[in-house]
């Protein structure tokens, strides 16, 4: 890191990398960074990706590294995380400026958001949500994952859903199998998970099945996860959100504040 990123942002990125190290089938350390491989889940792009830790590389060099590392393993997609925040912004801007030269490449920006507290009232357990293990909400997770796969143009979702659920289980083993669902009674329609390593906790996988959106269910699950993390002594709580999407505004209303970004280069198969 070159010092431009905040300590919070770097700590949260390190949290995610530590979990990925535990969950991946294999991690290869290279002079440019790390290659995370999970051939047991070949359809999950974010389980087969490379993390560029070196700074100062050109776009062409990074693309070549991706072709060699992921292409060499037989993957058609490219998912490349640029871990240095300032260098990632530079590379992302260059890719966008040369879009005509690389029409298949897209730049994604993930925001790291730390919970600062605020006006929301936290009570554990939350009256609007309840805690369950993953095994109790497999049908809900399958439905949500299938909905999310549709925009990616994946016609046959069953294999992808199976692989993502297996990764759900692995992350549960690595960081805690803790899910919060809403409503508190009856059929679960919304869910999020709480991961934890040491005194840092992450709220992740916040999602609601399409017919039940805009009823306050997602808010109830997030507040339940926050209340539980606070009650159990987590010193820091964070989540991530796409910089180009609206949920970041929802999280800001719940007391989350952006502390940094991660730039990811993506090329579909």
Domain assignment present for 251:
yes
10 Å CB burial of residue 66 (0-12, 13-18, 19+) is buried
Give residues with Cβ within 8 angstroms of 246, minimum separation 6.
Answer: none
pLDDT of residue 207: 95
One domain for residues 162 and 96: no
Which residues constitute the domain of residue 137? 130-259
pLDDT of residue 152: 54
**What are the distances in angstroms from CA 69 to CA 88, 105, 194?**
19, 17, 32
One domain for residues 155 and 49: no
Q: Domain total for the chain? A: 2
pLDDT of residue 126: 64
Which residue, chain included where needed, has tokens 């808010």? Answer: 219
One domain for residues 92 and 172: no
Mean pLDDT in order along the chain per 10 residues (269 residues): 74 98 98 98 96 98 98 97 98 96 96 86 73 94 84 67 94 95 94 97 96 92 94 95 93 95 96
In this structure, what DSSP letter does residue 215 have?
Answer: S
One domain for residues 55 and 171: no
What whole-number distance in Å separates Cα of residue 24 and Cα of residue 121? 37
User: Does residue 122 contact residue 229 with C-beta atoms inside 8 Å?
Assistant: no
């Amino acid at each position: 890191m070159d010092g431009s990123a905040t300590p919070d942002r770097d700590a949260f990125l390190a949290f995610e990398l530590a979990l990925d190290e535990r969950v991946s089938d294999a991690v290869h350390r290279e002079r440019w960074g790390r290659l995370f491989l999970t051939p047991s889940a070949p359809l999950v792009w974010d389980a087969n990706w490379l993390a560029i830790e070196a700074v100062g590389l050109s776009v062409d060099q990074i693309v070549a590294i991706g072709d060699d590392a992921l292409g060499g393993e037989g993957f058609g997609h490219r998912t490349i995380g640029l871990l240095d925040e300032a260098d990632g912004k530079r590379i992302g801007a260059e890719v966008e400026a040369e879009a005509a030269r690389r029409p298949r490449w897209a730049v994604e920006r993930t925001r790291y958001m730390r919970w600062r507290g605020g006006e929301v009232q936290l009570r554990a357990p939350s009256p609007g949500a309840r805690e369950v293990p993953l095994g109790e909400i497999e049908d809900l997770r399958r439905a949500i994952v299938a909905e999310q796969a549709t925009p990616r143009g994946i016609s046959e979702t069953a294999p992808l859903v199976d692989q993502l659920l297996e990764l759900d289980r692995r992350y549960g083993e690595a960081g805690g199998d803790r899910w919060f669902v809403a409503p508190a009674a009856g059929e679960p329609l919304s869910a999020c998970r709480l991961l934890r390593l040491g005194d840092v906790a992450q709220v992740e996988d916040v999602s609601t099945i399409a017919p039940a959106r805009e009823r306050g269910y997602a808010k109830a699950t997030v507040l339940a996860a926050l209340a539980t993390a606070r009650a159990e002594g987590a010193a820091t709580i964070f989540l991530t959100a796409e910089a180009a999407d609206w949920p970041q505004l929802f999280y800001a209303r719940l007391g989350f504040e952006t502390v940094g970004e991660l730039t990811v280069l993506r090329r579909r198969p």
